[in-house]
Structure 1
Amino acid sequence: MTLIYGHRGAKGEAPENTLTGFQECLKHGVRRCELDLHLSMDGELMVIHDPTLKRTTDRRGKVVEHTAAELVTYDARKGGPGWIKPCPIPTLEELFEKCDFEHWQLEVKSASRTRAVTTVLAIREMAQRHGLLDKVTITSSSREVLKAALDLVPDVSRGLVAEYAWLDPLKVAQSYGCEILALNWTLCTPERLQRAQRQGLHVSVWTVNEPALMRRLADFGVDSLITDFPGLASATLENC
């Protein structure tokens, strides 16, 4: 059976990476999610995709230039599906407290060595405090992040985010002891999928929004789909 992950909550249905979006995902019965993390100025794990505030809020500047207390007051509805009420940038802590997901793919964007270390340690500490160590996977396309995770928090599951085929993603995933391969759907050939699964990888394919593509990838045998439309994906795969 192909599992479903809500991409940044339910990016096609509600403002991305907001509590509202993750609650929408859960309303559809989809209990797996993917989200993005950046550190605030004071080292809090903030749920936002870009390193800057411009695209999703009415603010300017970098996430790291603002404190968590400031960031949680900023409305992140901009550029997404229309939404009546403000949707603030959440902390990861708030989502852990308010959303009951079976599994979380926590994507850490490219980071310096120091920030990679700080981020993976903060994720482990928070996941342990909330009893979620077995329900989170730190994912990244950054070798710096994956190396920090492997070296410092080896008991937390790791996943490689692979967008391009210029490096063999299976070799990279293996070298960092990854359990998940989050693969751009355009790279998901049946041959690569089978090789990855033989290697013991869970293959999670993104971002899959068309019903015909959902069905095709499910027929290939992907382990999970990451989608902006978890409700649509749920309805589509139920009918497969």
Structure 2
Amino acid sequence: MTKIFGHRGSAGTHPENTMISFEQAYIDGADGIELDVQLSKDGIPVVIHDEKVDRTTNGKGFVKDMKLKELQKLNAVYKFADQYKAAAIPTLDQVLNWAKGKGILINIELKNGIIAYEGLEEKVVELIDKYDLHSNIIFSSFNHYSIAKLHKLVPDIDKAVLYMEGIYKPWEYTKWVGGNGIHPSIKACPAVLIEQSQKAGVPVRPFTVNDKKVMKKLFEINCAGFFTDYPKIAVQLRK
């Protein structure tokens, strides 16, 4: 069965990468959530997509330049201010604590393609160990050095390379860097690629799939999973 991942939670209808959004994806019946992790100035793994806080909060500046206390004072309701008064930037610790015992999958994207956060992988793994969630986690990153590093740190946790443009035989490439899945942009993900990859034993989970026709097609060809801003719609379609 094709697994449905709420992209940054239920980002199409709720403030992305917040507890409100993750809880909604869970309520809507998503199999998993996807989130982005960076480090605060004091080295705490925090859940936010952009390197700067400008787009999704009422603050300005780089995540790396703010201590956790400063980040948590920001309001991350983003474009949903008419629906919600406030939402904080969560820590990864907070999200994993919430997820424990729920059986939900968590795709952790390491946001270290632009800023090389020292020790990001180790800190994230430490938290997964703390909550004993190895079997619930999938790691992904556009920084494939990070996938290789994680392969050494936690060979038992699923890992996938993220990419936007065509890679030759991506199902072979991901194994070469230490991954065991691929997460291509839906634009670089024809049905034939999904079939070839999954035939080779490498699951494919494209992003970000918001078109109902495309969702239906992915269900039909038994794609391993996909990421969507509208998990509720995807769950209803799958039924």
User: TM-score with structure 2 length normalisation?
Assistant: 0.92
Question: Which residue of structure 2 aligns with residue 4 of structure 1?
Answer: 4
- Give distance in 2, aligned partners of 1:112 and 1:198: 33
Shift, 1:190, TM fit: 2.1
**Residues 189-227 of structure 1, C-alpha deviation per residue, up to 9 Å, x if partnerless?**
222112211222111111111211110121122111211
For residues 52-91 of structure 1, what are the structure 2 equivalents within 5 Å? 52-80=52-80, 82-91=82-91
Question: Which residue of structure 1 aligns with residue 126 of structure 2?
Answer: 125
- After alignment, is 201-210 or 42-51 more displaced? 201-210
Unaligned runs of 5+ in 2: none
Identity of aligned residues (%): 26
Partner letter of residue 108 of structure 2? L
Shift, 1:115, TM fit: 2.4
**Structure 1 pair 155–104 and aligned structure 2 pair: CA distance change class (3 A):** same
Aligned CA RMSD, in angstroms, stands at 1.9
- Give distance in 1, aligned partners of 2:69 and 2:169: 41
Partner letter of residue 76 of structure 1? A
**Residues 151-194 of structure 1, C-alpha deviation per residue, up to 9 Å, x if partnerless?**
33333321111211155533331212312211211222222112
Alignment coverage as a number of residue pairs: 237
**Structure 1 pair 55–114 and aligned structure 2 pair: CA distance change class (3 A):** closer
- Give distance in 2, aligned partners of 1:209 and 1:231: 11
Shift, 1:110, TM fit: 2.8
Residue pair 2:171, 2:181 contacting (<8 A) in 1 also? no
**Structure 1 pair 229–82 and aligned structure 2 pair: CA distance change class (3 A):** farther
Partner letter of residue 230 of structure 2? F
Q: Which of the numbers 103, 106, 121 marks the counterpart of 1:104?
A: 106
Residue pair 1:162, 1:169 contacting (<8 A) in 2 also? no
Shift, 1:85, TM fit: 2.3
- Give distance in 2, aligned partners of 1:9 and 1:209: 13
- Give distance in 1, aligned partners of 2:72 and 2:113: 22
**Residues 128-169 of structure 1, C-alpha deviation per residue, up to 9 Å, x if partnerless?**
110101111210011221122123333332111121115553
- Give distance in 2, aligned partners of 1:212 and 1:187: 17
| Misfit runs of 4+, over 4 Å | 111-114
Partner letter of residue 109 of structure 2? E
- Give distance in 2, aligned partners of 1:28 and 1:211: 16
Residue pair 1:16, 1:80 contacting (<8 A) in 2 also? no
Partner letter of residue 105 of structure 1? N
Unaligned runs of 5+ in 1: none
Partner letter of residue 192 of structure 1? L
Question: Which residue of structure 2 aligns with residue 134 of structure 1?
Answer: 135
Question: Which residue of structure 2 aligns with residue 33 of structure 1?
Answer: 33
